Amino acid sequence: MSLLNYNYSSRVLEMDTEINIMLPEPLPRPEGGDERVERRMPSDGFPTLYLLHGLTEDSTAWIRKSSVERYAAAKNLAVVMPDADASFYSDMACGKDYFEFLNGELLDVARKYFPLSDRREDNFVAGLSMGGYGAFKWALREPEKFAAAASLSGSLDIARVVENVEDPEERKKLEWVFGDLESIKGSKADPVHLARELANSDKPRPKLFQCCGKDDFLYEPNVSFKMIVDELPLELNYSEEEGTGHEWDYWDRMIQQVIKWLPLNQ
């Protein structure tokens, strides 16, 4: 895999930002008796996983703390990792418009400068913690853009997560993101609402992968989200694990499972 760090001036964010991108390296067919499989760039560009970081991290987190490069290389899969600060991948009440950045500019810029497919069946999104929330929110709001989405220990029932935050300083930070916290439930910031809305529409329905450790502080909001989605005509692959908290050893194992699960056309 090639690893590229792309820095540019974002029109939406009105500031410089960076994107880390992993691209498969095409291998020519070897001559002689070598049995290696030929790997070429697809004519429509590489299938792409948009991979989102957590609350306290940045676009380098998945590179530094997991082996996602090896897992993606085995599937000839490109990986795009943007930076979204502590925005919850939202158009912030007091901050930058990170959802607009993701949903429009990021896709346009990445596909303009790198050989990435723009076909729905070749595009996927995943993330951990805040990024798991962002991945499901993005795919459920824009289901025409993604064939599958994965949340690893995500803040999925976000209204319930926010209700459980008692520290005044932490609540203030959430207000910078969402504004009135009482208005989250039933809004475009609420994956529960988005799942119900999608289930009652005629839009395409991305496949969903959700996992969480049973010792994770976000376990109960994950269970409540799963119970709701189980009642909807959406395809959800769910797993949980005993003795696991909010930790990278778990996310590294699970992103490997996610990449194996993706509906890649190979």
H, E, C per residue of 171-221: HHHHHHHHCCHHHCCCCCCCHHHHHHHHHCCCCCCCEEEEEEECCCCCHHH
Grade residue 78 by pLDDT with cuts at 50, 70 and 90: very high
pLDDT at 88: 97
Mean pLDDT, residues 4-18: 97
Question: Taking the mean position of all CA atoms in its chain, how far away is CA 88?
Answer: 11
pLDDT at 265: 80
Arithmetic mean of pLDDT over the chain: 94
Q: Is there a contact between 24 and 77 (Cβ–Cβ < 8 Å)? A: yes
Q: What is the DSSP letter of 29?
A: P
Place of tokens 């290389």: 73
pLDDT reading at 232 higher than 70: yes
- All residues at 6 or more sequence positions from 257 whose CB lies less than 8 Å from its CB, including other chains: 209, 211, 239
Alpha carbon distance, N-terminus to C-terminus of the chain = 18
2-261 belongs to which CATH class? Answer: alpha beta
% of the chain surpassing 70 pLDDT: 94
Global pTM reads 0.94
Of 207 and 27, the one with more pLDDT: 207
- 209-229 as b/e, with b when 16 or more CB fall inside 10 Å? bbbbbeebebbebbbbbbebb
Q: What is the DSSP letter of 23?
A: E
Mean pLDDT, residues 253-257: 98
DSSP H helices in 51-93: 61-65, 68-73
User: Which H or E run contains 50?
Assistant: strand 48-52
Mean pLDDT, residues 215-241: 97
Query: Could you tell me the two tokens for 86?
Result: 């502590």
* pLDDT one-digit tens code per residue, 152-172: 999 999 999 999 999 999 999
pLDDT reading at 36 higher than 80: no
Grade residue 43 by pLDDT with cuts at 50, 70 and 90: confident
DSSP H helices in the chain: 61-65, 68-73, 98-100, 107-113, 130-141, 158-163, 168-178, 191-199, 219-229, 248-261
Q: Domain ranges for the chain, please list them.
A: 2-261
Mean pLDDT, residues 59-76: 97
β-pairing, 207-213 vs 2-10, is unpaired
- Exposed, middle or buried: residue 9 (CB in 10 Å: 0-12, 13-18, 19+)? exposed
Question: Taking the mean position of all CA atoms in its chain, how far away is CA 114?
Answer: 19
Mean pLDDT, residues 62-71: 97
Phi-psi region of 264 (alpha: psi -120 to 50; beta: other; left: phi over 0): beta
